[in-house]
Structure 1
Amino acid sequence: MNTYQTGSFTKQLNNTQITIHYKQLEINTIEISSYLNPTEFNAYCKNGCPNHSQKWTCPPNCPSFENYAKDYSKISLYLFYTSPNQLKEVEDKALLAYNFIKEELQSYLRQIEPENGKMIAANSCELCTTCGLVLGKECHIPDKMRYNLVAFGFNVSKIMTDLFQHELKWASKDQIPDFVSSVGALLKK
């Protein structure tokens, strides 16, 4: 079993201090391959995500993970999670909390991205208001564009349970989960 580092920190969201917990794990890149199934997970993107075929970073435009990661021997995975119940008097606590930690993770990964490494984002690219793909153009800022684990075809839920012993929780109209989670990574030489 792999061991991971844990911790927590606080960040301000509107007028509330939010505690964000994290887990971090570094493994050999080859070890993550067992969680990869682009046929299955890209089908979910195609059938359920409005970004499919609309962004350079989303299927079917995403390269294969094997090709993208071929020059990197290590992958550091980062899990951020927080309780939406920390937010008071907010209509959609779960969505706000999820978007908040997703952006915090995204920002953190960009800050620590090694010069000889590559970030794998926590979500689809949101750098441009309208992706160049929709406009029939190349990416506007290819040096900053990053793909995400889901776009490569990873089973992120299984990564969370197997590698972090962390169960993915889903919100529903009537149910706020105990916590919301986001996962990203860094490829390293």
Structure 2
Amino acid sequence: MLFAATLGGAAQAQATADAPLAAAEGTDTQEPAEFGAPPAPTSYNPSGAYTPSWERPVFPEGGAPVFLDQPGRSPEPPASYLDQAYEARLRSSFLSAQGLKGPLEGGWTLRDAGGKQLYDLQLVDSASGVVDGAWRDLRRAGASDASGLIVGASRTGARFDLRFYSAATGSVTAALTATADGRWAGELMEQGRERAVYLQRN
């Protein structure tokens, strides 16, 4: 009788000792308290992994809508220093590229003294004075041979010499000089006939 009581008490003590271990084995899916729970997934971080604050996108805060008649307000948050530096670099590159262009860069229209449109010119003017581009005869719209490349053009100071070949009119040359109003005026030689013309920016 004494042996049975002793054996029963030992079994009860063993069951009591095993109870916390069984409880721990049943809840092994939780992290220890000292490590904390993993971060909850967000709209910009669906994996739940850690992302440094400087790499997280900044979303505009909600508020009153901004209308077109409110030029002093913006629906976007202020630009970050990275955005400002990028925009400044783009502006600097653009200004540097513009500094390598000459005054004839762009689109021009060659007109006679009465204002009639003769040729449309698209010019590429380098700072060295070498000019290249293409021409189009505005009097022969739609004709397959009414356009082509400029075969010779140069700018020396305020003088611009132009030469190209048209199947309809043959060799076309022009000698122009820059004027105070931004035009280039001079003489056009076409089909053996010389006429006063001026070049005006489109």
Report the TM-score when normalising by structure 1: 0.22
More helix by share: 1
More strand by share: 2
The higher-RCO structure (CA 8 Å, 6+ apart) is 1
Report the TM-score when normalising by structure 2: 0.21
